[in-house]
Amino acid sequence: MITKNKETTKMIVCLSDFHIPFHDEAAVFAAIRWINDCKPKAIYILGDLLDAYSLSRFEKDPRERSIAEEAEIAKDILAYIKRACKKVTLIDGNHEERILRYTSKYAPELMGIVKTIPELLDLDKLGIKHVPYGQVHVLNELVLKHGTRIATGAGQSVRKEMGIEGASVCMGHSHRLAVVYHSNRNHTIVGVENGHLSDQGKQKYLKASDGVADWQQGFSSWDKNSQGWYPILHRIYKGKVIS
Ligand SMILES: [Zn+2]
């Protein structure tokens, strides 16, 4: 299912993959300061704002924070983002979907009673739009999504998403930074992998690979002219936006 928005856009910013409570606070606030300075027209959060760690299928430490605590941190961060830009949309990622999946698997009787993501994060009160997991937001032919396809190496995951969509795509999910183009006789489309805002050191499942991952912190901004969409990647290094 697709939600459409025909409005012409000046500049939008995409943020993704915070993985609260494993977010990198310095990176998150570097991105928010950048938004404050550049005043984009709209912000899109492309999923995995929450980690939902306690519902992970992987090995977990019961002393880690609860979903309720994750939600409190997320609401604070969303309020800062909302102060920096009036128009904010949250598109769910697979980590938000963990909550729904867990309830339907282990407590289906509680479906409809357990809080949904908009309820958990007070999105109505904050004035933030919501796109549920499995849906995408299309803005002037640019597909904004968390994404489901992962391939090795920056740019390879979004190539798959562009192949499926047949359109320009900005995706989260891979935690890598990349811009790739694809042209045929008729048109050129562009794809972006949007980086991440998490703290690799805190992500437990990376311990198996000695904490090493082919990930890059950052985010993207997009503008549109008569030639179509053009993105700029903003890499974050040690709490600073360096590009
Ligand atoms: Zn993620």
The per-residue pLDDT of the chain, averaged, comes to: 89
Pairing of strands 228-237, 218-225: antiparallel
Residue 42 DSSP label = E
What are the residues whose beta carbons fall under 8 Å from the beta carbon of 226, sequence distance 6 or more? Answer: none
**97 Cα–ligand 1 center, Å:** 12
Cα(84) to centroid of ligand 1, in Å?
A: 23
Q: How many A from CA of 176 to the centre of ligand 1?
A: 10
pLDDT tier, 67 (very low <50, low <70, confident <90, very high otherwise): confident
What pLDDT score does 9 carry? Answer: 55
Distance (angstroms) between ligand 1 centre and the Cα of 48 equals 5
**Sheet-wide strand order for 2-5:** 2-5, 136-139, 142-145, 168-171, 188-194, 177-183
Q: How far apart are CA 171 and CA 140, in angstroms?
A: 16
Asked if residue 40 has a cis previous peptide bond (ω within 30° of 0), the answer is no
DSSP assignments along 45-84, one per residue: E-S-SB--GGG-SS---TTSPPHHHHHHHHHHHHHHHHHH
Q: How far is the CA of 186 from the centre of ligand 1 (A)?
A: 34
Averaged pLDDT for residues 132-138:
96
Percent of the chain with pLDDT over 70: 89
| 219 to 13, 18, 119: CA distances (angstroms) | 8, 11, 26
For 189-216, how does the pLDDT look when each residue is reduced to its tens digit (9 = 90+)?
Answer: 999 999 999 998 887 666 556 668 899 9
What pLDDT sits at residue 7? 47
CATH of 2-241, one of 3.40.50.720, 3.40.50.1360, 3.40.50.300, 3.60.21.50: 3.60.21.50
What pTM did the predictor assign? 0.90
How far apart, in whole angstroms, are the C-alpha atoms of residue 71 and residue 77? 10
Question: Is residue 42 within 8 Å of 12, Cβ to Cβ?
Answer: yes
Residue 18 alpha carbon to ligand 1 centre in Å: 7
The Å distance, Cα 203 to ligand 1 centre, comes to 11
Average confidence (pLDDT) over 155-159: 98
Q: What is each CA distance from 146 to 32, 200, 239, in whole angstroms?
A: 20, 19, 24
- Between CA 102 and CA 66 the distance in angstroms is 14
pLDDT digits (tens, 9 = 90+) for 14-25: 999 999 999 999
For residue 218, the CA-to-ligand 1 centroid distance in Å is: 13
> Ligand 1 centroid to 49 CA: how many Å?
8
- Report the C-alpha dihedral over residues 18, 21, 23, 28, rounded to 10 degrees: 80
Residue 124 CA to chain centroid, in angstroms?
19
- Ligand 1 mean position, distance from CA 187 (Å): 31
Distance of alpha carbon 142 from alpha carbon 190, whole angstroms = 9
CA of 182 to the centre of ligand 1 (A): 25
User: Ligand 1 centre from 185 Cα, in Å?
Assistant: 35
